[in-house]
Amino acid sequence: MTKIKGHPLERREFLKLGLGAASLLALGSPEPVTMLRGQNETARKVLILGMDGVDPHLLKVWMDEGKLPTFRRLAAQGGFSPLRTSNPPQSPVAWANFIAGTNPGGHGIFDFIHRDPSQQSDPSKFIVFSASATEEAKRTLKIGKYVFPLSGGEVRNLRKGKAFWQLLEERGIPATIFKIPANYPPVESSQRTLVGMGTPDLLGTYGQFNYYTTVPAEINEDIGGGWVHQVYVIGNRVDAKLPGPANSFLKDQPDTAVDLRIDIDPIHPVARISFQGQEFILREKEWSDWKKVRFSFLPTQSVGGICLFYLKQVHPEFKLYVTPVNIDPSDPALPLSTPESYARELAAKFGPFFTKGLPADTSALDNDVLDEDEFLAMDNRILRESLDMFDYELGRFDAGLLFFYVSSTDQRQHMFWRFLDPASPTHDPALVPRYGAVIESIYREMDALLGRAMEKAGRDAVVIAMSDHGFNPFRRAFNLNSWLKENGYHVLKSERRLSEESLFMNTDWSRSRAYGVGLNGLYINQRGRESGGIVPPGPGKDALVREIARKLEETVDPKTGERAILHAFVGRDIYSGPYLEAAPDIVLGFNRGYRISWGSPMGRFSREVFEDNLEKWSGDHMGAPEIMPGILLANRPIRGESPALFDLTASLLALFGVEKPKELVGKPVF
């Protein structure tokens, strides 16, 4: 295969380039000189380490204490500045700001979760993921119980605007983009890109683990992010099923499953797991390697995935954890990379690897399925896999852009913040000696990673370390929908069923003027927009928005006496761009220590507006953007007082001499 600047060149592009160059020469055009100049520009190397959630305050403290010498060296070579995050400071929104170089009005991602106002009457369709949408085959042929698709289904990336690597590609500048969030499915490009946050598991969810236990007390059907199965040991043998994706070839779309047989030794803490012709032995407290599993739809149709097994306990009770079934990168059932062969190339070189968006199973830790050590073992594996691939990419990085993303910084801060925060409701001083340094240690790992990057990238390379947002404690949860109900903006059909139903199934839309969906969004139930809308658009609605925003900012937590919401931003005031229509009417910027409650984003109500956050998920970043900046360090001086994520996009294009398209709102900072 023809290679240019370290990248394989598609035949189509080769012909295009060849024909273009030939015709230009024939016409005696000066353009080839321009192209040459373009090539010289691509000789510049820019390496960006995207460390999700690295907090400038923590970073500065540990830099000052001399614990992060490489960060300190980088800051001394160029600069260190807080990086203004998105509003709201959620990862998909923030990374989309960086990718598209705009605010959310320009790329259309306003939250992890959006709503489809035209589907208000259908709870199953009203609340949707913001970043991607899956559509089943439009035309099918039904024969008896079988359904045969006559057209292909589709997975769409809902982020709008051109990604910066597409802009670089137009100028022939190669880029490798490793696991950047908000890029699933990957946008069309011949650059090397591997999907990251937002990528589903094989079941199409954000990750469903399976946990098999003989302890009835552990059976809880209400666990988000996983299934707990009660199993029985009969004759030293456990029979179980590993659930797979729904079988869309059958009329009622029953779930597929694979039979698991587990044999345990009567005395020794060891078990043999067998399925689909595979057998392996695990000792208690041991993880398996990646195992391939296939779910069959029809004799000729099946789909493959990969998962890890963890034998938590053998005696006296049996406990087995299985990770969500990830899409197999060696044979991807859904798109994982551009070009398509890139994921397979990595799988061939490194073996199977985590492909699910945020791979660390925080749900399993939150629900005590995994303990802290077990979670860290998993996250270490995730980090190790990624770092091996980083070294590989760094080894062949000779021109253009290399962007590398790390999720462990974010995930560990979410789960271990309670050990840094004595005011956290889940703070356990007894565990502080054991886990109090977990966050610091991941910052140190990032320091080592940065060191390797700086050493290998070369003296002329621009090296940038960045994060999308910082971190805050999450002590108190605020149920926005309950607050709206208490203040008369939202009406339920039945007060008795208040906390029983989610997805607004108990809402009386004909009398509700506002509702909250997602982690920071509040919407007015607007006539003509929401299918059951009652508030007419115009000055009346605007006044209602201002009134709710004012009341929210005045809301005080009765337990602490603190304001829960630092700013209630009016969507139209803070966003600009072609996708403003989808923006929330109000965006909540929480105060330090506060976040939306667990139920409110999905339309669930609680008796109390404020509750203690009793989850291990104890750090978060849903606060007002001004208290949640990310980091920006570079070996080039940083200009400007408070650079923003979209400024970094403009800066990146400027470094390569690419003219900034008019849709991009940022300004170069280097």
Partner 1 sequence: MNVFNAAVSGLFDLLLAPFRSLSPWIALAVVSLLTGFLMLSIYRRASNQDGIRRVKNRIKAHLLELRLFKNDLGVSLRAQGSILAANLKYIGYAFKPLLVMIVPVLLILIQLNDWFGSRPLRAGEQALVKVRLAEGYSPIETDLRLEASAGLVVETPPLRIEEDREVDWRIRAESPGVRELILRWADQSAAKKVVVEDGRLARVSTAKVRTNIWREISHPGEKSLPSDSPVTTFEVRYPERRLGLFGIGVHWLVAYFVLSIILGFAFKGVFKVTL
- Min dist. Cβ of residue 349 to partner 1 (A): 14
630 in Cβ contact with 647 (< 8 Å)? no
- Quickly list H helices, 28-103: 31-42, 56-64, 69-77, 91-100
Q: Which is nearer to partner 1, 337 or 600 (CB)?
A: 337
Measure the CA–CA gap between 392 and 386, rounded to whole angstroms: 10
Residue matched to tokens 């600009």 = 576
- Min dist. Cβ of residue 259 to partner 1 (A): 16
Measure the CA–CA gap between 568 and 586, rounded to whole angstroms: 6
Three-class DSSP category at 441: helix
Q: What is the DSSP string of 299-359?
A: TTEEEEEEE-EEEEE-SSS-EEEE---EEPTTS-SS--EESHHHHHHHHHHH-S---SSS-
| Pair of tokens at residue 633 | 């360090």
- 597 closest CA partner among 578, 611, 579, 617: 611
| Pair of tokens at residue 23 | 């015709």
Q: Which is nearer to partner 1, 33 or 281 (CB)?
A: 281
Q: Which is nearer to partner 1, 112 or 212 (CB)?
A: 212
The residue type found at 315 is H
- Min dist. Cβ of residue 281 to partner 1 (A): 4
- Min dist. Cβ of residue 280 to partner 1 (A): 7
- Min dist. Cβ of residue 315 to partner 1 (A): 12
- 177 closest CA partner among 164, 194, 159, 189: 194
- Min dist. Cβ of residue 279 to partner 1 (A): 6
Q: Does the CA dihedral 323-328-330-335 come out positive or negative?
A: negative
Cβ partners under 8 Å of residue 562, min gap 6? 556, 591, 593, 594
- Contacts with partner 1 by CB under 8 A lie at 235-237, 263-266, 268-272, 279-281, 283, 289
- Min dist. Cβ of residue 314 to partner 1 (A): 10
Pairing of strands 278-283, 270-275: antiparallel
- Min dist. Cβ of residue 263 to partner 1 (A): 5
Give how far Cα 408 sits from Cα of 412, 416, 594, Å.
Answer: 6, 11, 23
Q: Which is nearer to partner 1, 283 or 550 (CB)?
A: 283
Q: Which is nearer to partner 1, 263 or 626 (CB)?
A: 263
Cβ partners under 8 Å of residue 395, min gap 6? 456
Q: Which is nearer to partner 1, 146 or 280 (CB)?
A: 280
- Min dist. Cβ of residue 269 to partner 1 (A): 8
Q: Which is nearer to partner 1, 2 or 341 (CB)?
A: 341
Residue 535 DSSP label: B
Instruction: Give the angle subtended at the CA of 656 by the CAs of 655 and 660, to the nearest 5°.
Output: 85
- Min dist. Cβ of residue 271 to partner 1 (A): 7
The residue type found at 428 is D
562 in Cβ contact with 591 (< 8 Å)? yes
Q: Which is nearer to partner 1, 169 or 385 (CB)?
A: 385
Three-class DSSP category at 628: coil
Instruction: Give the angle subtended at the CA of 390 by the CAs of 386 and 394, to the nearest 5°.
Output: 175
Q: Which is nearer to partner 1, 297 or 350 (CB)?
A: 350
- Min dist. Cβ of residue 68 to partner 1 (A): 33
Residue matched to tokens 């059951």 = 532
Q: Which is nearer to partner 1, 23 or 236 (CB)?
A: 236
Q: Which is nearer to partner 1, 151 or 274 (CB)?
A: 274
Q: Which is nearer to partner 1, 11 or 142 (CB)?
A: 11
Q: Directed axis angle between helix 31-42 and helix 11-27, to 10°?
A: 140
Gyration radius of the chain over CA positions = 26
- Min dist. Cβ of residue 313 to partner 1 (A): 15
